[in-house]
Chains A and B, each alone.
Chain A
Amino acid sequence: MAADNEISAIYYIQHHLQNLTFGKHPDNGWSWASNSTEATEMGFWAIHVDTMGWSIAMGALFIWVFRKAGRMATTGVPGGLQNAAEMVIEFIENLTRSTFHGKNSHIAPLALTLFMWILLMNSLKLIPVDYLPEMFGRLGVEYMKIVPTTDVNATLGMAFGVFCLIIYYSIKVKGAGGFAKELSLTPFNHWLLIPFNLVLEVVGLIVKPISLGLRLFGNMFAGEVIFILIALLPFWAIWLLDVPWAIFHILVVSLQAFIFTTLSIVYLSAAHEHH
């Protein structure tokens, strides 16, 4: 009986941590993965449909709400929605002004998108862990992991986007030569040490997006696992741990969104600086 319980608990956890995957299986061709082994066997040519779907939904929600606020925006007395949107925008603007030292009007909207998008995606975690997977299960969808930021692909994907922008702005501001010089001649300005500098700087550069993505992923994934573990408790004990953890997670959700945004701005600011 104990072993049964253990097996079902392991199954429950694994089930909750498995993405809905569609990909090219070596044996079955393009198909839905029916279990985690199949999903692993698909390798790179697979896509987490739930991650993509929920992240795009959250992004679209952000765009829709803020677009609506922008459409109704007046210079007179603002309504509730506009007030909220302006509050966020002012917050992001101040954040950008204090952290970003270059001149680029695209950084603030970029930061706004990152912040609101990650915030919304993280907030999905506050929905009880069983609600949506159960609902989709009834509809015949086997796996449903609704929080995109607990998928390392999503966080690294965004970090990779930021990384591309870092490279783009580095080259745009400093020129290809300037960027190469920065990579090869810092921190030791001597031609003999160019290979050493290069290794150091390239590693430093690549670490930026990886740390950015993994930090968000790690925090969200760990929080999700704890939620799942709490859900395994007897029903009368769940709320005892679930409520404090959820309240704590309101902080974590916004804090992680804030950290991701701030670090992205810092990295982009560094990309705009001449040495």
Chain B
Amino acid sequence: MNINMTLIGQTIAFAIFVWFCIKYVWPPISQALHERQKKIADGLDAASRASRDLELAQERAEQTLRESKEQASEILEQAHKRSTQMVEEAREQARSEGERLVASARAEIDQEVNRVKDELRAQVATLALIGAERVLESSIDEKAHREMLDKLAAEL
């Protein structure tokens, strides 16, 4: 166990290694380490922020969905109402149209009946006259009886 110059040599080597480590070894690794730590911290931060954003967006989406559903049901209800109204109107119109048609048909029939009556009346007079002529076998003064027969026909 001799104490000798090795002691000094070792001290010098120690000094050189420490200096080298301080100067060239420590900074890059330490820097990379801390930068990565910062990066990871930032990343985690961003992730938590993003998840918060996502929550918010989900909430908003849900709300929008709810609103649109409400709107849709409202629109549907309105359409329903409108359609029943339209059906009602159409039914009303059809009924009045039908009534109108019926009335006009009836009027036409009445008119026709009157016309036929008139015709019949005229023919009846002639027929009665001919019949009477046959029954009597005598000549009836057409002129003399004509007036009476017309009166008769008018009474029909």
Contacts and interface: CB of A to CB of B under 8 A. Distances in A.
Given A106-B22, A108-B26, A43 B39 contact: no
A90 B26 CA distance: 11
A155 B1 CA distance: 12
Contact of A154 (B6, B18, B26): B6
A160 B11 CA distance: 7
A267 B9 CA distance: 23
Contacts of A71: 28
Contacts, number: 138
Interface string A247-261: 000000000000000
For the complex of A and B, 4 pairs with smallest distance between CB atoms: A157-B10, A70-B28, A153-B6, A73-B32
A136 to B, nearest CB: 18
Contact of B6 (A43, A47, A113): A47
Given A44-B5, A74-B32, A161 B11 contact: yes
Interface in A16-31: 19, 21, 23
A154 to B, nearest CB: 5
Contacts of A23: 4-5
A42 interface: yes
Interface in B23-46: 24-33, 35-36, 39
Contact of B11 (A19, A76, A158): A158
Nearest to B31: A73
B4 to A, nearest CB: 4
A161 B18 contact: yes
Nearest to A73: B32
Given A43-B4, A44-B3, A161-B18, A89 B9 contact: no
A151 B17 CA distance: 19
Contacts of A43: 2, 4
Given A42-B2, A86-B32, 14 more contacts: A23-B4, A47-B5, A56-B13, A59-B17, A66-B25, A67-B25, A70-B24, A73-B28, A108-B26, A109-B18, A110-B21, A157-B13, A157-B14, A161-B15
Contact of A51 (B10, B11, B14, B26): B10
Interface string B52-91: 0000000000000000000000000000000000000000
Interface string A146-160: 001001111011101
